[in-house]
A and B are shown apart, each in its own frame.
Chain A
Amino acid sequence: MEAWLGKTTDSGKASLCANSFFGPGVVALEAGVHSLIVGWERPLHWGVAGAVIAGVVLVLLFRFNRALGVSTGLEDICALWSRRPYFRRPGLVRAGGWRLPFWLGLVLGGFVSSALAGGWAPTWDLGMWDTMVAGSQALKVGWMFVGGLFIGFGTRLAGGCTSGHGIFGVSNLEKASFVTMLCFMASGIATTFALHHFFGGAGS
């Protein structure tokens, strides 16, 4: 809280350049740098998060000649043991399993984030689910497993997820990506409103 209050001088400085062309960018950058250094309890500014993600996408393409996409990694994992033709198809084999180190990095990123935010510890906490559904641990496992089935089957049927379609495909102006993104956002919104209505949560 003190750190947050201490920010007033910074935003005063930022507002000085708000009239210039680069004003909004400077404000966003400053807010991001600030939250990286002192604001562990607050989320990273959306503009900074978006910029870093764009940077990752572009480095991946320019340095490694690979188009960002996380969910195809699910197939790379299946390809480790399954001999089904789908997991042996040329397109998947050709990609060369670059996603496995990238996946490892995603796990490490979550680890580093929570370690820096006050210590890593295994947890069952699930935010508003714990008050909204208020189910047992077994229900939570079943809930997540069923949700996971939808994610695995759905993303692979659609040919991508939020990263491959939502960020890379849309940026590359792919028709399939616009359609997929529209569908998963619409169905996510509908499902969430339905669940919150059913369980009497915030959305009812």
Chain B
Amino acid sequence: MSFVMLTLLGLVFGFVLSKSGASDYDYIQRMFLFEDLQLYGIIGAAVVLTLPGLWLIKSYGKTASGEPIVIPPKPAHRGNILGGILFGIGWSITGMCPGPILVNLGEGKIYALAALAGALIGTYALGALYSLFEKPLGMPSIEDGPD
């Protein structure tokens, strides 16, 4: 049941990313070149509407089934800066952030496979080299690692 519902939620998310231009190379380029504000509007609208909803759910404190709401905190460290810069370069190069890589795969864009392979190897490299970055960038130890 949850498998089906989670798949459906992903489907709705992916469909909207595809239909709105958020997974389109040209839209991403035009966003970064300030030639088209569509994607700033999407992110802005999503944040403006998520913010009060999130506040309400957190005030209520429980999920629909009565479990206490758990939101893993996002650790602040210098990796946010370096990682953010590296990710921005990748987003610009490919025209895809992680969600849209998958959406593009579904749309039949063959090159999205290469981006996915790169992203998986990049992720593996970070996992293998994590201890090198931990101290210099002030990141949490692997044990208390991010969510």
Residues of chain A having any CB pair with chain B under 8 Å:
35-36, 43-65, 67, 69-75, 77-78, 82, 84-87, 89-92, 95, 98, 101-114, 120-129, 140-177, 179-193, 195-196, 201-203
Contacts and interface: CB of A to CB of B under 8 A. Distances in A.
A110 B87 CA distance: 22
Contacts of A163: 97-99
Please classify the interface of chain A as helix (H, G, I), strand (E, B), loop, or mixed, using the class held by over half of its residues: helix
A150 B87 contact: yes
B7 A108 contact: yes
A193 B126 CA distance: 28
Interface string B120-143: 111111111010010001000011
Given A58-B53, A113-B107, A74 B98 contact: yes
A132 to B, nearest CB: 9
A188 B20 CA distance: 20
Contacts of B102: 70, 103, 106-107, 110
A84 to B, nearest CB: 5
A153 B126 contact: yes
A146 B93 contact: yes
Contacts of A171: 46-47, 50-51, 54
Contacts of A51: 45-46, 49
B80 A158 contact: yes
A61 B69 CA distance: 8
B81 A156 contact: no
A110 B10 contact: no
B127 A105 contact: no
Please classify the interface of chain B as helix (H, G, I), strand (E, B), loop, or mixed, using the class held by over half of its residues: helix
B57 A67 contact: no
A118 B84 CA distance: 36
Given A148-B120, A191-B93, 9 more contacts: A61-B71, A63-B63, A91-B145, A105-B14, A114-B106, A121-B108, A126-B25, A128-B29, A187-B88
A186 B91 CA distance: 11
Given A49-B19, A78-B127, A92-B145, A112 B11 contact: yes
Contacts, number: 482
Interface residues of B, number: 117
Kindly list the 7 A-B residue pairs having the minimum CB-CB distance in the complex, ordered from nearest. Answer: A105-B10, A148-B118, A109-B14, A50-B45, A152-B122, A110-B106, A183-B84
Contacts of B53: 54, 57-58
A127 B115 contact: no
Contacts of B25: 126-129
Contacts of A101: 2-4, 6-7, 10
B81 A91 contact: no
A157 B126 contact: yes
Given A109-B106, A127-B26, A155-B98, A147 B11 contact: no
Contacts of B49: 50-51, 54
A176 B108 contact: no
